[in-house]
Amino acid sequence: MTEREMDELKKLLKGAVPPVGGTELRRDLWPEMRRRLEERTVRVRVPWWDWALLAGASLLLLLFPRVIPALLYHL
Amino acid sequence: MELLERFAAGDVDAFESLFRQYQGEVFGWIMRIVRNRATAEELALEAFWRMYRARASFDVARGNCGGWLRRIATNVALDHVRRVRPEVELAEDPPDDAKPDLVQQSEVRSAILGAINQLSPRIRTVVVLALIEEEPYENIAQGLGISVNAVKVRVFRGVRSLRKELTRLGVHA
């Protein structure tokens, strides 16, 4: 394909699909990005009852250490 | 600590600096691919979100943040083109001098659009960027993460398919 043929093809394509004009950004996207960052940042919060359950289980194991092998067997 | 190092370590202020530095460039690049302002804004935000998530894998030593971001932006735009936008759209604000008399005829225009849209998304994207937007091959190669020669091959294949399809439709380029 010659350069002239290529130029004609470009002209034809541009006639049907003009280049996008105005590709400059018209607004600052940072506030939106900041909002999304805050929304998408997963904050892992452990509820109080989970802590209570953990404390209870630890206390149980301290008071009755013989339970540990049985517990491991069932795990 | 330098900006890129702080960004890689998860510093949001560093990310904001990079965001403000590159947001226009990323938006403009995506706009050339998806050809819709609202979509391009949305995809630019998605590209920066992916960048932020992948910050730990960023190679600070190489430091080519712009190139890395352009590849992410291209992938985001191509994902979108493959998923929901199978066809090339007209520009929102076409310049007046880009309308030769020939393509005022709607039949010719739709034939050309049809020929472009029958190309695969990856060939079509390269054809639009190279022949319509006249982006340098180096930029396209960087965005797609391929070599300049690979871009030339895709342009060649695209042109060959377009000429074949246009000839079949009775439009002679």
What are the residue ranges spanned by the domains of chain B?
3-83, 96-168
Q: Is B96 on the interface with A (CB under 8 A)?
A: no
Instruction: Read off the pLDDT of residues B134-173 as tens digits, 9 standing for 90 and up.
Output: 999 999 999 999 999 999 999 999 999 999 988 887 776 6
Domain boundaries, chain A: 50-75
Instruction: Read off the pLDDT of residues A45-65 as tens digits, 9 standing for 90 and up.
Output: 677 888 899 999 999 889 998
Rounded distance between C-alpha atoms, residue B123 and residue B108, angstroms: 22
pTM value is: 0.74
**Contact: B109, A16; criterion CB under 8 Å:** yes
Q: Is B68 on the interface with A (CB under 8 A)?
A: no
Residues in chain B closer than 8 A to A19 (CB atoms): 91, 95, 98, 132-134
* Structural fold of domain B96-168: Arc Repressor Mutant, subunit A (1.10.10)
Q: What is the DSSP string of B132-168?
A: IS---HHHHHHHHTS-HHHHHHHHHHHHHHHHHHHHH
Its ipTM equals 0.73
**Contact: A20, B159; criterion CB under 8 Å:** no
Q: Is B173 on the interface with A (CB under 8 A)?
A: yes
B contact test, residue of A23, A30, A32, A37 with most B CBs within 10 A: A23
In this complex, which of B16, B31, B103 lies closest to A20 when CB atoms are compared?
A: B31
CATH architecture of B3-83: Orthogonal Bundle (1.10)
Burial tier of A63 (Cβ tally within 10 Å: 0-12, 13-18, 19+): exposed
Question: pLDDT digit of tens for each residue in chain B (173 aa)?
Answer: 588 888 888 889 999 999 999 999 999 999 999 989 999 999 999 999 999 998 888 877 777 888 889 999 999 999 998 887 555 555 544 555 555 555 556 778 888 888 888 898 889 999 999 999 999 999 999 999 999 999 999 999 999 999 998 888 777 66
